[in-house]
Amino acid sequence: MNKAWKITGAIIGIILVVVLLRGCVMTSYLIPSSGMENSLFQGERILVNKWSYGLRLPLMALWNYHRWGDNPVQKEDIIVFNNPANLSEPVISRRETFISRCIGVPGDTLLIDSLFSVIPSEKNAPDQKFLYTYPREKEKQLDSLLTLLSICNNHLMGQDSVKNVRSFSRYEYYLLEQAMNGNCWIKLLNEGDSIEALRPLIVPGKGKPVRVYPWNRTLLRNTLVLHENKQAEIKNDTLYIDGKPVQHCYFTKDYYWVGANNSINLSDSRLFGFVPKDHIIGKASLIWFSKKTETGLFNGYRWKRMWKTVR
């Protein structure tokens, strides 16, 4: 009888240890699609470190959101999180799980196109300089605008007042364009560098203001409604929060912008918007199982990928 009780106690102890490890330390996650290739392949299983950003306490239905040992998410981390756009499940921890790479942290300014895809290349980076020309008679007006907007001369590329050429980044050009109220007389010197309609998107941070623009007001409205419990709506091209028109939004949480490695896969922020910190489960840590799609006893496994750090 004592032996039976010892065996039963051992089994219960093992089960408790497994439950605690899975709930508070590590959990396993199956890669469901090809969205994260070549970092992670479809069908692989990974371990997710729940302490990377501080432990999000389980049983959120009982005591809401709390995190022990809070640490910031770093850019380029591959993170696992609950679906931010699931309206049918009020408890965050019960929502389906996604995985993506963090490409924007609170306070970052990302350059996006009309589809909200982040432009990562060096040529399209916000600080990449391009040459612009302007009318000679606008020289003093341009100097005044640069002083007003705190835009400094580029010491590397400089300027040529004789040929009316100066260098600006895309973001600096955007600021000048806005200051001219649509009547911009600064033009690209090389039309081969013609700029697509790229816009700066600021990732919201706790307590930090975010300016409302035509291209981000719907995204901000959705974020306020879904994650800030605000009453927000757009009327006559103006964002209203709790019945008042606003030009800036304030947030009570930190948010992140995430993207898939495979741009064709839309299961990232282009689909569901910003990811709040309280939705993040942890960081993808190790690949513990990797199998190819084709069958085979030994050749169907990617042996060299097993127990490799996720990058």
CATH of the domain at 57: 2.10.109.10
How do residues 50-99 score in pLDDT, each as one tens digit? Answer: 999 999 988 787 888 989 999 999 999 999 999 999 989 999 999 999 99
Higher pLDDT, 164 or 289: 289
3-class secondary-structure state, position 201: strand
How do residues 161-171 score in pLDDT, each as one tens digit? Answer: 556 788 787 77
Distance (Å, whole) CA 220 – CA 208: 13
Residue 133 falls within a domain, yes or no?
yes
Q: Measured between alpha carbons, how far is residue 194 from residues 11, 119, 198, 306 in Å?
A: 67, 15, 11, 46
List the domain range (segments joined by +) for residue 145. 129-193
89 and 169 both lie in a single domain = no
136 and 77 both lie in a single domain = no
Residue 269 falls within a domain, yes or no?
no
DSSP secondary structure string for all residues of 35-54: TTTTTS-TT-EEEEETTTT-
86 and 153 both lie in a single domain = no
52 and 99 both lie in a single domain = yes
Residue 251 falls within a domain, yes or no?
no
Residue 110 falls within a domain, yes or no?
no
Peptide bond preceding 38 in cis form (omega within 30 of 0)? yes
- How would residue 225 be classed by pLDDT, with cut points 50, 70 and 90? very high
Residue 155 falls within a domain, yes or no?
yes
100 and 67 both lie in a single domain = yes
Residue (of 286, 290, 254, 260) closest to 272 by Cα position: 260
Residue 86 falls within a domain, yes or no?
yes
How far separated are the first and last CA of the chain, in Å rounded?
A: 52
3-class secondary-structure state, position 112: strand
Residue 49 has pLDDT above 90, yes or no: yes
Residue 57 falls within a domain, yes or no?
yes
